[in-house]
Amino acid sequence: MTTVLYRWRWAALAALLTAEAMNLLDSTIVQVAAPVMHADLAGPESDIQWFSAAYTLPFAVLLITGGRLGDLAGRKRVFRLGVAGFVLASLCCALAGTAWLLITARAVQGAAAALIIPQTFGLIRSMFEGPELSRALGSIGPVMGLAAICGPALGGILTHADLFGSSWRSVFLVNLPLGLGVLAATRLLREDRAEHRPRLDLLGTGLVVLGAGLVVYPLIQGGDWVLFAAGSAVLAVFAVQQRKGSLVERTLFRSRGFPAALVSSVLFFAVMNGLMLVVVLQLQLDLHADVLTSGLTMVPWSCGMAVASWVSGAYLVPRLGNRVMHLGLAVLLLGLLAAIAVYAGTPAGSYPWPLPGALTVCGLGIGLFTTSFFTSALRQVRPQETGSAAGLLNAVQQFGGALGVAVLGSAFLGGTAQTACWVAVVALLVTGLSSALMSG
């Protein structure tokens, strides 16, 4: 009986980790295939940015509400609902015949992901305890790292393979067997709810959804700064409303450390996600390289991230602490400047052969920063604030990704890859300033 119970719990954990990996894959796998989607579905070039932003934006703004729904209605129930919605939305993405149908289905995918991800920690905690709980939670990092590494390459391979004439649609069809397998395994999960049921802050959720949408839309579509100003005003109203609302834990803002971490997260992940898109767009739109070339070009970036994350977590952070975070920013800045030099020195129409080397340096910087950043960001958070702080950091990370796709993507489409990289350099320098305040 003990052996059966042991296997049951670890099978349930595998289902939870598969769901997490599936959602992370979907935020990276599409970036490589996005130009091919645009070529097939036609429409304005800004649609390429929306194929990514339409997923990450609702994912970001609904994450905290998704966690609250799990507390109220049961994490297993909400997790199952999210996975079912994600599978159906993935099928709709694969069958989309127009760009706007695909963008709409991507938004539904992002909303479903916001129901899935917040439930994982609580469901794992309900199944394991003691040393086994530590082992179970420790498995999240490597699985997420593997998904991040595989995403760009897998997007290129699946699209290039053109299985059964599916082309880019296969990057969504791959979610169907994975999602159905997870759904079948949810019967192994225990239902779990919060002991003290929080209330839903529907007004706060509505304000942040509206504000974030109004801010990102003109950054991608260009020109309508009235909408941008309106979105900023709505977000300001949201900040005031949260003095009485329950979406954000107000005690997190007593000192400058955590707000500085939020700013750093938005800026850093804007650079990371936006730069990935710029590299892919330059290869496919400027050089007319195929999607497989784009995916393989990103492999050194992913490998650099993986190596640096492991070295940072295992050796550097325990010895050097916060200094690893600043080292990561410096290495990423070096990689960005190298990429600018590569783009400047490569003849028009030629593949930039030194670029994978520059991307390796960028990946090393990202891996060094992220491991130490989250440790530093949560260090001063009190135990009762940890859940809220982690959820908020996750949300602004996703929002930063959407912002980076909007800003750096527009900088490329309206200029050159060098233009976008210089914008990223400025954002990275500001990240250095904000991260320096995290110790306060």
Mean pLDDT of the chain: 88
In this structure, how many other beta carbons lie within 10 angstroms of the beta carbon of residue 130?
A: 7
Q: What is the mean pLDDT of residues 78-98?
A: 96
Tokens describing residue 48? 């390429």
The predicted structure's pLDDT at residue 5:
53
User: From CA 349, how far away is CA 258, in angstroms rounded?
Assistant: 45
pLDDT digits (tens, 9 = 90+) for 107-118: 999 999 999 988
The predicted structure's pLDDT at residue 84:
97
Residue 213 pLDDT greater than 90, yes or no: yes
The predicted structure's pLDDT at residue 284:
94
State which amino acid sits at residue 202: L
User: From CA 217, how far away is CA 223, in angstroms rounded?
Assistant: 10
Residue 383 pLDDT greater than 80, yes or no: no
Burial class (CB in 10 A: 0-12, 13-18, 19+), 228: middle
Range picked from 212-226, 266-280, 385-399 for highest mean pLDDT: 266-280
State which amino acid sits at residue 272: M
Residue 302 pLDDT greater than 60, yes or no: yes
Tokens describing residue 297? 């070009």
Burial class (CB in 10 A: 0-12, 13-18, 19+), 75: buried
Range in 96-100, 257-261, 387-391, 406-410 the model is least confident about: 387-391
User: From CA 247, how far away is CA 125, in angstroms rounded?
Assistant: 23
Q: What is the mean pLDDT of residues 332-346?
A: 96
Contacts of 394 (CB under 8 A, 6+ apart): 63, 117
Range in 157-161, 251-255, 416-420 the model is least confident about: 251-255
pLDDT digits (tens, 9 = 90+) for 101-152: 999 999 999 999 999 988 888 888 888 777 777 777 767 767 777 777 788 8
Burial class (CB in 10 A: 0-12, 13-18, 19+), 104: middle
SS3 assignment, position 45: coil
Angle at 151 between CA 265 and CA 124, to 5 degrees: 70
The predicted structure's pLDDT at residue 138:
67
> Band of the pLDDT at 175, cuts 50, 70, 90?
very high
The predicted structure's pLDDT at residue 40:
94
Residue 352 pLDDT greater than 90, yes or no: yes
Residue 371 pLDDT greater than 60, yes or no: yes
List C-alpha distances in Å: 93 to 103, 316, 330, 400, 419.
8, 42, 39, 24, 32
List the one residue out of 151, 149, 171 whose CA is nearest residue 160. Answer: 171
Residue 332 pLDDT greater than 70, yes or no: yes
Contacts of 130 (CB under 8 A, 6+ apart): none
List the one residue out of 43, 100, 102, 48 whose CA is nearest residue 283. Answer: 48
The predicted structure's pLDDT at residue 29:
87
With both helix axes pointing from N to C terminus, report the angle between 257-281 and 355-379 in degrees, rounded to the nearest 10: 160
Residue 206 pLDDT greater than 70, yes or no: yes
Higher pLDDT, 7 or 26: 26
* C-beta separation of 370 from 272 below 8 A: no
Q: CA Rg, the chain, in Å?
A: 21
Q: What is the mean pLDDT of residues 310-332?
A: 89
pLDDT digits (tens, 9 = 90+) for 220-258: 987 678 999 999 999 999 988 888 877 877 888 887 888
Higher pLDDT, 57 or 5: 57
Q: What percent of the chain has pLDDT over 70?
A: 95
Q: What percent of the chain has pLDDT over 90?
A: 55
Which region, left, alpha or beta, applies to residue 188 given φ > 0 means left and ψ of -120 to 50 means alpha?
Answer: alpha
Contacts of 54 (CB under 8 A, 6+ apart): 103, 104, 106, 107, 110
pLDDT digits (tens, 9 = 90+) for 29-45: 898 999 999 999 988 99
Q: What is the mean pLDDT of residues 14-42?
A: 89
Q: What is the mean pLDDT of residues 140-167?
A: 82
The predicted structure's pLDDT at residue 68:
85
Burial class (CB in 10 A: 0-12, 13-18, 19+), 341: middle
Residue 1 pLDDT greater than 70, yes or no: no
User: From CA 411, how far away is CA 399, in angstroms rounded?
Assistant: 18
* C-beta separation of 325 from 308 below 8 A: no
